Structures are given as structure tokens and as C-alpha cells.
Structure 1
Amino acid sequence: MSHALSLFVTGTDTEIGKTLVSAALLRGFVREGLRATAMKPIAAGATLVDGVLHNEDADQLDDAANVLLPPDIRTPFMLKEPAAPHIAAAHENVMLDMTRIVDAHMQALDMADVVVVEGVGGFRVPLTDAHDTADLAFALNLPVVLVVGMRLGCISHALLTAEAIVARGLRIAGWVANRVDPAMLFPDENIDTLRTWLDRQYDAPLLGVVPHLSPASPDVAATHLDTNRLLQTLRAAQR
């Protein structure tokens, strides 16, 4: 049985920095001397490069990892259309089978010390007519890191997502504030509010505040994250 650590990264929405934070966590784990790898089980939006389908997010995760998985384990479902996964899958006559993802994750655990699994879109994005990303996180049974895109409206989005995570019986290992909107009014006050609510209601610590980075840099973002605290939480959850 593998003793590798693993976590599921979700977000308050799409385009709020899940990939940046996932890559930053990978860089942090590598700095800690761990063999770190990533899964992007479902990637929507892929292009052919030299006859091989590539997804920008999946490639960024590979760049940040120091253990590379075979493409069909890292991303069991690579969809061409940049659309909601169930729509892209239907368009390509693909059935998004969670069993295949769970099996791939089991294989990934045997290849590294820590596996970062990045979700697709927000936490409740449908994958089929009957299942969504929350069901995938539940099937994998992983602690969740919540990425909050700091912009107007983020407090409600963050608390709704946290409520949905806990309602599935999953643990929030921590959350990350990502400054996606550099012009946001009162960002520190918003972060303080979320810190109070998420810590009090869900025992979910703030793992760090990622400043607005242009261009985005996982190495720079990693310096703003408390990877060590997250590792302690993951190890405690495994006991």
C-alpha cells in the first residue's frame, strides 16, 4: 500500500489560479525534497502539437513537477473543446468515467511522494448527467485545498464552495487567497473576513496570499505559500 500524500485543488470559479497554485505547491514540495507529481484528470481545451494532444494547464503542472506521469495517467481525459467538461465530452463522444481516474490516481501514488490533483473549473462543475467535480473529489477521498480568486463577490463564492466541500464529507486542508484582480477594493479586509469565517466554521487555515503576478510564476507564488504547514496537515490526515 502506498504511503504517498495527495490533495485535491479546487477553486471558487474557473480562471482564478488553480493551476498557478497547484504548480506553486508542486515547486514547494520539490523544495522540501519530495518527489512531486501532478494530475489534471480532466482537461478541456487541447491542441495537437506534433501529433500529441497538449493542454496548457497540464503542461504547466508537468513543468513544476519533478516526477512526470505518463500522459494517460496524468490526464486520463484530454478534451479538445475549451468548454464545460460534460459538454466537451458529449461533443467528442467521450464518457467521463471516474473509475478510470481513481485507477490512474492509485498508479500515480506509487510513482511519487506527493500527488497534486487539480480539478476542473469550480467545485460543482458537471462531468456527466449524474456526476460533478465534487463527486470526483469524493471518489478520490482527498483533502481539499481551496483557491479563492480575490475579486468582488469572492466571499460568498468561497463560503458556498467551502460549505459544498464539507457537505461531501471532505476535509478542507487549507485555502489560498490569489490576487487575480489587482484593482480590487479592500483586499486585505476581504482576506481577513474569509480567514475568520473559514477558520471558525471549517478549521481551514490560510496557506498564503499570492500577489498579482504578471507573468504568473509558480516559483514566485511558492514563496508565498506555507507548504510545510500543508504537509503537516496531509500527514496528520493520513494517520
Structure 2
Amino acid sequence: MQPIFITGIGTGIGKTIVSAIVTEALQADYWKPVQAGFDDGTDALLISELILNKDSIIYPEVYKLKLAASPHIAAREENIKIDLDLIADKYRQLATVKRQLIIEGAGGLLVPLNDNEFMLDLIRKLDAKVILVSRNYLGSINHSLLTAMVCKQHNINVPGWIFNDQYMQYEEEIVQWSGYKKLGSVSFNSTIDKNFIRREAEKISASLLAAL
């Protein structure tokens, strides 16, 4: 079973919230192999606080780095080099569990993990399907289509987009121009809690199952 990799068009666009929704919708397991910065808690901890089902397993990070920065810089600060083979070895252990695995990346596709490799290289090494997260804001069309272009150039399997936030009517245009279907839109809500995640998971579960 191919893992599902959640990546986005940039940083701060809602990947963790979408990861929680997808994890809940599929009652899948969750893993963020590289966490950079955790003063406010890790993304894995947030996921564990937001999902309601009792089946999902939240796996620990391979790299848990203190500095909230690009992973290659955060690792350099601790005299560490992020090793994609080490992450892949850990993934092979997790893949023995017969349940869908949701993997959350850090930032976007071209976020550096070390001096030579990017998040895109990790996706390819894990042979993962990719769900793209786009947050609607001024400039998101450009960022979304650039992200889609990179996926196509590297033959990445992309089941579709999940959109987040509300700003004008960009979603259908991004779908049309990118050629990737829309899996769902996350409603704007000032309070993100377990009930919100459950409601959004119920809305998106049918389209997720059909696309995956």
C-alpha cells in the first residue's frame, strides 16, 4: 500500500490540519519524519489531540530538531545531516502495519533536507502518493501551479488538491489549470478541535476513498 504524503504550496498553509482530517477520514496512521521547531509542540502531538478514532497510531519523528527553520539549517545547527536512507529504513518498518500511512512533510516540495536533497526526493524514495494542500490567498494561484508543475516534471502520483481557507474563487481555476482534481475544501473556522476535524473528515471521506 503506497503511503500518502501531505505537502503544500508553502509553509503555514494548513498541512497539519489537513493531515489530521485525512488521518481521521481514513482512520490511518500518521508520521512526520522531520520536525523542525517544537517550542509550541510538535505536529505529531497536535494530530494526537485532534483525531477522535482509536485505531490511528501516531509514530515518532526520525528527526526532531529544535530550530524552527528549513530542516537542513535546523539539522546543521545540531551538527546533524538528515539521511533519507535512514528515513526510508524506518518507513519500511512502519509499512508492515496493514493500515494506510499519512506522512506529513515540512514546507513544500523544494524544502531542502540536506545539502543535496529536497522534500521531493523523500517523496520519490518512499514511492508515495501526494495530496497537495493549497491555502487560498493572493498569490496562491502561482504557488499552486508551480507546485503542480514540479510534480508533473518528476512524475509524482497526485490524487488531488485539498484547499484551505477562503479567498475569492481560486479553487476551480487551480484545478482546471493544474489538471489535478479537487478532493475537498476545509471550511474556515476560528476554533480547530476534535469536532471540527471529525466534521471535515466526514465531508471528505467519500472523495478520498474514490481517489485513492
Task: Name the TM-score, length of structure 2 as normaliser.
Answer: 0.90
Structure 2 residues not aligned, in runs of 5+:
none
1:69-99 CA-to-partner distances (Å, cap 9, x unmatched) read 552xxx1011111111111000011110001
Could you say which residue in structure 2 is the equivalent of 1:21?
A: 18
Deviation, structure 1 residue 100: 1.1
Could you say which residue in structure 1 is the equivalent of 2:199?
A: 220
Contact 2:2 2:129 in 1 (8 A): no
RMSD: 1.8
Could you say which residue in structure 1 is the equivalent of 2:153?
A: 167
How many corresponding residue pairs? 206
For residue 67 of structure 1, the aligned residue among 33, 52, 56 is 56
Superposition pairs of residues 1-239 of structure 1, within 5 angstroms: 4-30=1-27, 36-47=28-39, 55-63=41-49, 64=51, 66-71=55-60, 75-179=61-165, 182=166, 184=167, 186=168, 189-199=169-179, 204-216=180-192, 217-225=196-204, 227-234=205-212
Deviation, structure 1 residue 5: 4.3
Structure 1 residues not aligned, in runs of 5+:
31-35, 48-53, 235-239
Q: Distance in 1 between matches of 2:21 and 2:58?
A: 18
Contact 1:67 1:112 in 2 (8 A): no
Contact 2:34 2:71 in 1 (8 A): yes
Q: Percent identity?
A: 33
Contact 1:11 1:121 in 2 (8 A): yes
Contact 1:37 1:62 in 2 (8 A): no
- The amino acid of 1:190's aligned partner reads Y
Task: Name the TM-score, length of structure 1 as normaliser.
Answer: 0.80
Q: Distance in 2 between matches of 1:98 and 1:20?
A: 25
